[in-house]
Chain A
Amino acid sequence: MSAQPHTHATPNRTQAATVEIRIRRRENTDAAQYWETFEIPYRPNLNIISCLMEIQKNPVTKDGKQTTPPVWNMNCLEQVCGICTMVINGRVRQSCSALVDQLDQPITLEPMSKFPNVRDLIVDRSQMFDHLKRVHAWIEIDGTHDQGPGPRMDQEDVAERYAYSRCMTCGCCLEACPQYDGDNYIGPQAIAQVRLFNMHPTGKMTRDERLEGIMGDDGITNCGNAQNCVRVCPMSIPLTKAIYEENRETIIHGLFGWLKR
């Protein structure tokens, strides 16, 4: 007895019998990009991932040309692993939570543009993880042996940290940021992680190392205050607040660091 998907979503567009999808493709890192258009049968409650799965089964373009199946990344399909991020109808977002019923057709799918494009919709976001290393995005615990509970905390502080700790390294904020272009600016994601750890009672003790990670030429001062990042962040992380707070911290740190010398 298999479950039936819900069918009571209210499609707010005229229901076409098919879904038309244009995909910006690339064979490999060195090849040029090109577009291909596909058409699949419409069903209620389709998301972009289901569409791509349908195309993958039988990769034929709208004009009936047999082609290679487009490739993409996916994992949790619950918008929490961050891997399936792409640009959909011009907006960067996760493809698992992009519902066909809420999108204008033809739907366009493009890989993110700020990261090396591996093939089709797959990009390599390892630079984001490298940034986490640079800003020491961790708590320096003495060891993993049992030392009892951590410091007591006010639920309000926890709630503020919780907001930052939901960052899934998806890269939407970097894609939307007019300043970010690979290696010229560390970007809002890493800065928000500095905020996350600098707020923690233990994390505070090694605050300076983190601040130094965002104070170089490509550091926090490159923010142009366009505020695109907060608008696209799927986790609603208060990125501009983090940038504001950390900017202040770096200024104070710069001052005292200079006095200490």
Chain B
Amino acid sequence: MATVGKNGIKIAVVGGGLAGLAAAMKIAEAGHSVDLFSVVPVKRSHSVCAQGGINGAVNTKGEGDSTAEHFDDTVYGGDFLANQPPAKAMCEMAPAIIYLFDRMGVPFSRTKEGLLDFRRFGGTKHHRTAFAGASTGQQLLYALDEQVRRHEAGGKVQKYEGWEMMSLVLDDHQVCRGLVAMDLKTLEMKAFKADAVIMATGGPGLIFGKSTNSMVCTGSAVSACYQQGARYANGEFIQVHPTSIPGEDKLRLMSESARGEGGRVWVPRAKGDTRAPASIPERERWYFLEEKYPAYGNLVPRDIATREIFQVCLDKMGIGGDNQVYLDLTHIPAETLDRKLGAILEIYEMFVGDDPRHVPMRIFPGVHYSMGGLWVDFEQRTNIPGLLAAGECDYSIHGANRLGANSLVSCVFGGFVAAPAAIEFAKNVERNGADSSALYEQELKLQEENNQRLIKQSGNENQYKLHEEMGKWMTDNVTVVRYNDKLKETDNKLLELIDRYDRISINDSNLWATMALPHARHLWNMLQLARVITLGALNRNESRGAHYKPDFPDRDDENFLKTTIAEYSGEGPVISYEAVDSSLIKPRKRDYSKGKQDTAKAAAGAKGSTLPPKDGAPQVLSQDTEQKPKDLSGPAVWNQNKEEVRDVNHGEAETRREQGKSIEDAGGKSDKV
């Protein structure tokens, strides 16, 4: 274990992606100790997959970009479901985050003057995305990995790579006192004490079988927290990326930067046209995004692009009638493509065998990102005192839909906010007696029993086939287009799978470094989380961001401008709702067929409530639009806006029920499912 730092504080960070490493770096820098857990060596975390870039309004192109504009784009893109104060704080910290990475040596692409270069991404009209070739996530993750290694060499960080967190250790007052983890080589389980635990375990893509996510992105760890009492928020908001490359083992992402650099989406105008793409003349091609959304063209936000592509294929207008459309870069000089998109084009070439510089790519939407995640307050604290969350595994920032290149920045921001909040908690938490060793032994025993039961269990069900079945049902019914009857059927299916789970047998008699037992544990947790996603979708009778129901095609702010909260019970998730903090930007209709300032004007005109914006300035009601990046120690802006609801006192050990009550009292409609 890491040598205990000043005040004897030790914090466990679970996950070594961008969010986890950002938090670990901050805690170690503050002089405290970190135990860092990760299934894979942290340098191999899923964050390496991010290709496109990281957002921050630095305005190097003189387009009048500002952090306020970034904030407005983020909230508008998220269809107003995000709590606004943390989103604002993130956008304000973003330029400083990019600068910090620059100082840590990330080889960001440069302008002629030697300054950071920025590109355009979906859902904005500004060049706001810093990028390092086409492997930005890899470069950012490595920069943090290097700094954390430096702290590891200095004795502040102890890594547990190849260890999987299985459950939390909670005391009698539901305060988090540590965790139980399993060594994936020996299958040995151990309980670890911690003064606070930060979850940074990434997204749950594998619930959908094949997705663009890495293989460790099962959501299993957060599902374990949920089953121990942590609230899970907005689970139904799953982003399906418009452009992925269908494969046997996974869906490989074709980054949005391909469209950012001028890639055009089209299909032949004639149904079932089987000519080679190059021999189809311009006028016989249907550039459907450009036609329907003249203001944003191919760079409409993801949910819209996805739905349009999906619909085109449903109408059998896909290439050759199949589930495929073209993403075309062939009009751009190969040299430019190599310089700006080299790495992602190589991926296509490597896995498909065609050269996208000369042949248009064939793509189809794929499950990509979860906007939902563990419920956290504005300081990344979950409802379980001592348990925090950051990165893709928390629900904050992105609302109903995430903008491209906003995730990396939100992961780092989340880590940077969680670290001081965890230290603060650790300083104040009562340690006497409550963390007796019996507590740890008890949880350890429970987890060991769970393993033993699975090892002994026998039956004719195959865990990998159950996983496939779950993935297919979830992909077919709980992604782009959702119908209530299908959602109900899916939940019934999930219940059936949960029932069949008791009849799976671990097909590996050699338990040393086995993949079978960990997968079985993941599968259970995925099934639980799949229900949260499905029932959240069933209950939300509106369309908003990534959540689309043809039977309820409009956004319904009156009933659903609310965060969905799922709480675990033996019978399944209990769903309730919590008000969204929209104190800074008034919700307005999201319409990407117009420029954003037009929608702002329309909203202002209709409601007569705010001044019309000047020159595309956003509808930010706050005065605070200064450009200077905030310092990186964590935001302070939201204090004045903090809603009582979220101001749960984490220093005290409230019971979960009491906290749940305070949520309902605060106006959240409580729909039991």
In the complex the two chains form, is B41's CB within 8 Å of A3's CB? no
Q: Is the CB of B40 within 8 A of A59?
A: no
Tell me the residues in window 125-174 of chain A with beta carbons closer than 8 Å to chain B beta carbons.
125-126, 129, 132-133, 136-141, 143-150, 152-155, 158-159, 161-162, 165-166, 168-169
Q: Considering the chains assembled together, what is the distance between the CA atoms of A81 and B354 in angstroms?
A: 23
Q: Once the chains are docked, how many angstroms separate the CA of A74 from the CA of B40?
A: 9
CA gap between A125 and B244 in the complex, in Å? 31
A138 touches B40 (CB 8 A): no
A69-B146 in contact (CB<8A): no
In the complex, B247 has a CB within 8 A of chain A: yes
Select the stretch in B62-70, B164-172, B511-519, B616-624 that faces chain A: B511-519
**Which residue of chain A has the shortest Cβ distance to B110 in the bound complex?**
A155
A49/B114 contact (C-beta < 8 A), A79-B347, A138-B146 known: no
A17 on the B face (CB < 8 A): no
| Of the residues A4, A53, A96, A141, contact of B147 by C-beta under 8 Å | A141
Is A14 at the interface (CB under 8 A from chain B)? no
Tell me, in angstroms, the Cα distance from A9 to B49 when the chains sit together: 24
Judge if B475 is at the interface, Cβ distance under 8 Å. yes
Contacts of A119 in B (CB 8 A): 510, 512-513
- Give every chain A residue within 8 A of B514 (Cβ-Cβ): 71
Q: Is A229 positioned at the interface, with any CB of B under 8 Å from its CB?
A: no
For A28, A81, A197, the residue with the greatest tally of chain B CB atoms inside 10 Å of its CB is A81
Q: A74 touching B105 by the CB < 8 A rule? A: no
Residue of B nearest to A79 (CB): B350
User: B248 touching A137 by the CB < 8 A rule?
Assistant: no
In whole angstroms, how far apart are the Cα atoms of A200 and B102 in the complex?
11
Q: Which residues of B contact A76 (CB under 8 A)?
A: 44, 46, 48-49, 214-215
Q: Are A149 and B99 within 8 A (Cβ)?
A: yes
Closest to B363 in A: A3
B472: interface (CB < 8 Å)? yes
- Does B133 interact with chain A (Cβ within 8 Å)? yes
Among residues of A, the one whose C-beta sits closest to the C-beta of B366 is A3
Q: Of B100, B509, B512, which contacts A146 at CB under 8 A?
A: B100
Q: Which chain B positions have C-beta within 8 A of A59?
A: 507
How distant is A70 from chain B, measured CB to nearest CB, in Å? 9
Establish whether residues B509 and A68, one from each chain, have CB atoms under 8 Å apart when the complex forms: yes
Looking at chain B, what size class is its interface with the partner chain? 35 or more
Q: Which residues of chain A are within 8 angstroms of B138 by Cβ–Cβ distance?
A: 80, 166, 168
Interface check B250, CB cutoff 8 A: yes
Q: Is the CB of B150 within 8 A of A138?
A: yes
Closest-CB distance, B188 to chain A (whole angstroms) = 14
Q: How many residues on chain A are close to B (CB under 8 Å)?
A: 80
Is the pair B43, A161 in contact by a Cβ cutoff of 8 Å?
A: no
Q: Which of A6, A75, A154 contacts B110 (CB 8 A)?
A: A154
- A56 interface residue, CB < 8 Å from B? yes
Among B120-128, B549-557, B594-602, B628-636, the one that faces the other chain is: B628-636
Q: Are A75 and B216 in contact (CB under 8 A)?
A: yes
Q: Which residues 1-43 of A have a CB within 8 angstroms of B?
A: 1-6, 8-10, 27-28, 43
Residues in A whose Cβ lies below 8 Å from that of B100:
141, 144, 146-147
Q: Are the CB atoms of A3 and B251 closer together than 8 Å?
A: yes
- In the complex the two chains form, what is the Cα distance from A31 to B40 in whole Å? 24
Contact of B214 among A77, A82, A97 (CB under 8 A): A77
Residues A146 and B472 in contact in the complex (CB < 8 Å), given A4-B246, A27-B512, A75-B215: no
**Pair B46/A145 contact, Cβ less than 8 Å:** no
Q: Which of the residues B45, B99, B313 comes within 8 Å of A148, measured between beta carbons?
A: B99
- Nearest CB in chain A to that of B39: its residue: A75
B638 adjacent to chain A (CB < 8 Å): no
- Residues 446 to 466 of chain B near chain A (Cβ within 8 Å): 462, 464-465
The one of A1, A68, A126, A166 in contact with B310, judged by C-beta atoms closer than 8 angstroms, is A1
Bound complex: CA A155 to CA B114 (Å): 7
Check A227 for interface membership: any CB of B closer than 8 A: no
Q: A79 to chain B: which residues have CB within 8 Å?
A: 347, 350
- A133-B149 in contact (CB<8A): yes
Are the CB atoms of B352 and A9 closer together than 8 Å?
yes
- Asked if A45 CB lies within 8 Å of chain B CBs, one says yes
Given contacts A68-B509, A69-B507, A81-B40, 20 further A-B contacts (CB under 8 A): A1-B314, A9-B352, A43-B248, A47-B249, A56-B464, A58-B462, A71-B514, A76-B48, A77-B249, A133-B152, A137-B149, A139-B103, A139-B105, A139-B146, A144-B25, A153-B110, A155-B111, A162-B107, A162-B132, A162-B139
B residues contacting A by CB (< 8 A) are: 25-26, 29, 40-41, 43-46, 48-49, 96, 99-100, 102-116, 132-133, 135, 138-139, 142, 146-147, 149-150, 152-153, 161, 185, 210, 214-216, 244-253, 310, 313-314, 322-324, 343, 347, 350-354, 362, 364-366, 462, 464-465, 472, 475-476, 480, 507-510, 512-516, 629-633
Interface residues of A, Cβ cutoff 8 Å to B: 1-6, 8-10, 27-28, 43, 45-47, 49-50, 53, 56-59, 68-69, 71, 73-83, 96-97, 99, 101, 118-120, 122, 125-126, 129, 132-133, 136-141, 143-150, 152-155, 158-159, 161-162, 165-166, 168-169, 196-197, 200, 202-203
Could you jot down 15 A-B contacts, CB within 8 Å? A2-B472, A3-B366, A56-B464, A80-B48, A80-B135, A99-B353, A125-B41, A126-B41, A137-B149, A138-B150, A139-B104, A139-B105, A143-B29, A162-B107, A165-B106
